[in-house]
């Protein structure tokens, strides 16, 4: 039976005999994408810890924290029995209310997802930093689907000399190409079909990757032709800086896209060579 810990003290006591630890931080509502991270973590360490915590710091005023699904029992059914689950109540991580000390994501944290969700990345980095100090893993595993998050976590670990290896698993997709996300459950039947435009737009960008202009034109054309998709952004960024590349750039890029399909906001990305 899966061991569940609600307090920092009980988890740390259990980890004293756990050997090497790989950590998978989540907000629950688990799906096959999360399970791929758990399988990867099991390859990297003796013990896998999965956190399930809906972090209030990364929800803005315009976002519905209460709407985010909380399904602990269903999540536990999906996880292997030998995984340790850290599922603290909010007041265990924030006993004095919202933390007065925050990790800042800097300028990159205010772009792309940070533009649409102000303060989101500060809240994300703050809770990840707290969880890394609590769990003290040798390795932490994230998914490439959240490319901007991965970039910022890697930079935080490097800048703050956090003694952990960041391992990244490729985006897990359904057979039709849609990136797995906890938000996909909010899509209606026709909206789910329309949502495939995101992955198709990224594929079109790669197929036209002779130049930045051509790649972006191909992706915008495809997205604009799909009714029911409201585009937030499409861009090509340098994986080393997460800043947009110039028109004469040649080299590796991460193509990123965000769009609203119905009332559901989705993101996706794809890495390839430009030029």
**Do 245 and 256 form a contact (C-beta atoms < 8 A)?**
no
Residue 16 phi, psi (nearest 5): -60, -25
Cα 34 from Cα 38, distance rounded (Å): 6
* CA 238 to each of CA 8, 95, 241, 263, 271: distance values in angstroms, whole numbers, following the listed order: 38, 39, 6, 30, 10
Active site residue 220: no
Residue in 31, 34, 120, 133 annotated catalytic: 34
**Do 219 and 226 form a contact (C-beta atoms < 8 A)?**
no
Cα 138 from Cα 19, distance rounded (Å): 10
DSSP E strands in 38-190: the ranges are 47-52, 84-86, 139-143, 165-169
- Cβ neighbours of 13 (radius 10 Å): 11
**Do 141 and 170 form a contact (C-beta atoms < 8 A)?**
no
List residues with catalytic annotation: 34
């Amino acid at each position: 039976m899966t061991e569940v810990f609600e307090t920092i003290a009980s988890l740390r006591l259990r980890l004293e005999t756990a050997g090497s630890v790989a950590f998978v931080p989540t907000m629950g509502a688990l799906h096959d994408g999360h399970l791929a991270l758990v399988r990867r973590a099991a390859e990297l360490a003796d013990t896998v810890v999965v956190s399930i915590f809906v972090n209030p710091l990364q929800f803005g005023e315009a976002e519905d924290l209460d709407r985010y699904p909380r399904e602990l029992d269903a999540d536990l059914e999906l996880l292997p029995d030998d995984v340790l689950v850290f599922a603290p109540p909010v007041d265990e991580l924030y006993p004095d209310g919202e933390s007065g000390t925050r990790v800042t994501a800097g300028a990159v944290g205010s772009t792309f997802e940070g533009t649409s969700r102000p303060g989101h990345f500060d809240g994300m980095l703050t809770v990840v930093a707290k969880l890394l100090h609590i769990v003290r893993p040798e390795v932490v595993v994230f998914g490439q689907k959240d490319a901007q998050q991965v970039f910022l976590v890697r930079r935080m670990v490097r800048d703050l000399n956090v003694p952990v290896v960041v391992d990244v698993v490729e985006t897990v997709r359904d057979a039709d190409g849609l990136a797995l996300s906890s938000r996909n459950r909010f899509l209606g039947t026709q909206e789910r079909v329309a949502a495939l435009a995101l992955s198709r737009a990224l594929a079109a960008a790669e197929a036209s990757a002779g130049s930045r202009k051509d790649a972006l034109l191909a992706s915008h054309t495809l997205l604009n032709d799909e009714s029911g998709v409201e585009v937030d952004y499409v861009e090509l960024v340098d994986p080393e800086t997460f800043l947009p590349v110039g028109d004469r750039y040649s080299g590796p890029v991460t193509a990123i896209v965000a769009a609203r399909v119905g009332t559901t906001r989705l993101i996706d990305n794809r890495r390839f060579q430009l030029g």
